[in-house]
Amino acid sequence: MTTPPPSATPPSATPPPSTAPRPAPWVRTRLRAAPLGTVLGAALAFVAVLLAAALPRAQDRGADQALRSFLEQRGVANTSLQVTAPSPDSGQSARTLDATLEKLLAPTGTGSTFRVDPEATVHGTRTTKRQPLLNPELSRPSGLPPAMNLLHVRQAEAHVKLAEGRWPAGAPTAPPRGGTGGTAPLQVVLSQKAAATLGARVGSVLQSAPRVDGTPSVEVVGLYAVLDERDDFWTDNLGCLARACAHYSGENLSWHVDALVGTGDLDRMADWSRAAEDFWRLPVDVGRLRADRLDATRKEIASYVAGPTAATLARETGRTRLHTTSWLPELFEQARARTQAAAPLAAIGPAGVAGVAFVVLCLAGALAADRRDAELRLLLARGGSRAAIVGRLLGEGAVTVLPAAAAATALAVLLLPTPRLAPALLSAAAVALVALLAFPVRAAVLLTPARPAGRWRRPVAELLVLIATAAAVLAVRRRGVAPPGSDVDPLLIAAPLLLALCGGLLLARIQPVVTGRLARAAGRSSGLVGFLGLARAARGAAATGTGARGRSGPSVLPMVAVLLAITTGGFGAAVLQSVDSSRLGVARLTVGGDAAISASGKSPLPEGLAKAAGELPGVRTAVPVWVDHDSSVLGTRQRSGQVTVIVAEPAAYAELSRVIGCGAFDPALLATKNGQSADAPVPALFSAGLAGRDARGGTYRVLPGEGGELQVRVAGVIDCTPAHPARDAATVILPAGAAQALTGVADHPNRWFGLGSVDGDRLRALVRSTLPAASATPGPAPAPIPGSGSAEGPAPVDEVYPVSTSAEAVDGLGADPLQRSAQRLFWASVAGAAGFALLAVLLTLMRTVPERAALLARLRTMGLRRRQGVALILAETLPQTLAATLGGALVAAAAVALLGPAMDLSTLVGAHVPNGVRLTAGPVLTQALGLAALVAVAVLVEAATSGRRQITTELRAGDQR
Residue 784 C-alpha from the chain's centroid: 42
Confidence category of residue 783, pLDDT binned at 50, 70, 90 = very low
- The stretch 522-532 carries a mean pLDDT of 75
Confidence category of residue 797, pLDDT binned at 50, 70, 90 = very low
Record the pTM: 0.78
Q: How many CA atoms lie within 13 A of 5 on its CB side?
A: 3
pLDDT, residue 692, reads: 63
What are 166-186's pLDDT values in tens digits? 999 877 765 543 343 457 888
Confidence category of residue 680, pLDDT binned at 50, 70, 90 = confident
Residue 574 C-alpha from the chain's centroid: 16
Is the pLDDT at 817 greater than 60? The verdict is yes
Q: How far apart are CA 580 and CA 918, in angstroms?
A: 11
pLDDT, residue 363, reads: 87
Closest CA to 248 of 107, 141, 125, 373: 141
Least trusted range by pLDDT, from 127-136, 186-195, 843-852, 888-897: 843-852
Paired with 684 in beta bridges are 714
Closest CA to 280 of 170, 122, 515: 122
For the chain, what is the radius of gyration of the CA atoms?
41
- The stretch 840-846 carries a mean pLDDT of 81
- The stretch 188-203 carries a mean pLDDT of 91
Is the pLDDT at 271 greater than 80? The verdict is yes
pLDDT, residue 433, reads: 94
- The stretch 212-219 carries a mean pLDDT of 79
pLDDT, residue 951, reads: 58
pLDDT, residue 957, reads: 55
H or E stretch covering 190 = strand 186-191
pLDDT, residue 133, reads: 92
Confidence category of residue 870, pLDDT binned at 50, 70, 90 = confident
- The stretch 866-875 carries a mean pLDDT of 76
Is the pLDDT at 241 greater than 70? The verdict is yes
Rounded to the nearest integer, the mean pLDDT of the chain is 80
Cα-based distances in Å from 216 to 34, 88, 183, 213, 313: 96, 19, 8, 9, 34
Is the pLDDT at 48 greater than 70? The verdict is yes
What are 400-423's pLDDT values in tens digits? 899 999 999 999 999 999 988 999
Strand pairing report for 682-687 and 276-283: unpaired
What are 479-511's pLDDT values in tens digits? 766 555 556 667 667 788 888 888 888 888 887
Least trusted range by pLDDT, from 310-314, 599-603, 691-695: 691-695
- The stretch 335-356 carries a mean pLDDT of 82
